[in-house]
Amino acid sequence: MYSPLIEESPGFLNLKKQVIDSGLCSLCGSCGLLCDKIEYRDFPSLREGTSCNITNGAKTCGTLGCCYDNCPMTSFSKKELESAFFGKEASDRDLGMYRKILSARSTDKEILNSAQNGGTITSLLINTLSGNSSDSKYKGAIVTRRGPAWIPTPFFASKPKELLLTTGSIYSRLPLSNQIRSLLREKHYLIFVGTGCQTTGVRRYQYNFLSKIPPESAHIFLIGVFCYENFPYPQFKAAIQEKSKTSINEIKKMDINKGKLVINTKDGTFLQYPIKEFNSIVPEACKLCTNFTAELADISVGSVGAKETWNTLIIRSDEGVEVVERAEDSGIIETTTKVSVETIRNIISRKRFLSEKIIEKRRAKDLYVPNFN
């Protein structure tokens, strides 16, 4: 239903060679958006006993679609996607296309008590799913939830109260995007909350595949989360436990703020470590990425640029403007125009400098380097 016939694509083996084996896989889950042959362990792989149809001489990927065309780390035109989803190309090299930049926070005390910072994402989702919105077409939100021992776990929230179970940040990688595959067939209208690589993969999926079917059959609203870097869970868990001499099960909250990883334990202990101490486990995909603010999402949300207990909101699409304005009108969020945009630009500049260094190293080794122009 969601996989119209497509032109021949490089297929999974090329994706494996160019991206996965060369260290550029962000484990976002986008390659599995259409193909049920792909499974996720440490990295994406074909299920045992299956093969990629493209390598068998097929002109299409059969009925399940194509992995290579969804990957955020294979070459594509960002300007083309901006024009398709926002109506025009971005004029701001750092922040991407946007209509408004605001600072916001929840007005709900229950949300604020459990939220990482301002609780804005949770409030926007609750307002949209609660019936307070004038447009209640969305059937639920795909989000990340903290599992046992801080394992990042995909979660589908269809009721507002379920969203309170998903507050707080988790700094480990998760193949979240592939959750769309089964849910979209049944629900048709979804909200997806993810990082820059995850939301970019979903945008490519929308552009390459969903644009070919009636919009009332499948629509996804994207909320992007600011992300400087993410970590493979096993290495992150081991590093935290080694530094803190504490079981990860005893950690109540984690936050990355002003260059430091801040940890609060259940017994009230406060720990912090320079985030650069974790550089050795940062994936190369994160080092190459410059998409700090999830530039292709409808709304991007983060804490950088906002004062403490508030969030920065970068509203990019017309639908994003509507969602935020409805939340303001309902009183579930409050907003201000006070945002330190320069702080955001400084972080993006730092990521761009690091990315250029990684690109130089990869080219010297004759490794694949994607082109997003």
The pLDDT assigned to 217 comes to 83
The pLDDT assigned to 134 comes to 47
Please check whether residue 154 is in contact with residue 179, taking contact to mean a CB–CB distance below 8 angstroms: yes
Q: Burial-class residue 159 by CB neighbours within 10 Å (0-12, 13-18, 19+).
A: exposed
Listing from the earlier edge strand, what are the strands of the sheet with 251-257?
251-257, 260-265, 270-274
Name the region of 44 (left: φ>0; alpha: ψ -120 to 50; beta: rest).
beta
**What are the backbone dihedrals phi and psi of residue 134, each rounded to the nearest 5 degrees, phi first?**
-70, -15
Please give the DSSP secondary-structure letter assigned to residue 156: E
Asked whether the CA dihedral 78, 79, 82, 85 is positive or negative, the reply is negative
Please give the DSSP secondary-structure letter assigned to residue 276: G
The pLDDT assigned to 113 comes to 85
Q: What is the bridge-based pairing of β-strands 38-40 and 333-336?
A: unpaired
pLDDT tens-digit profile, the chain (373 residues): 444 445 567 788 889 999 999 999 999 999 998 888 899 988 999 999 888 877 655 555 655 568 898 999 999 999 999 999 999 999 999 999 999 999 999 999 988 888 778 999 999 999 988 765 445 688 999 999 988 999 999 999 988 888 887 877 788 889 999 999 889 888 889 999 999 999 999 999 999 888 888 877 889 999 999 999 999 999 999 999 999 888 999 998 888 877 889 998 999 899 999 999 999 999 999 999 999 999 999 999 999 999 989 999 999 999 999 999 999 999 999 999 999 999 999 999 999 999 999 999 999 999 999 999 8
- Please name each of the domains of the chain with its CATH number: 11-74 (3.30.70.20), 78-359 (no CATH)
The pLDDT assigned to 8 comes to 63
Which two tokens mark 137? Answer: 């077409």
pTM, two decimal places: 0.93
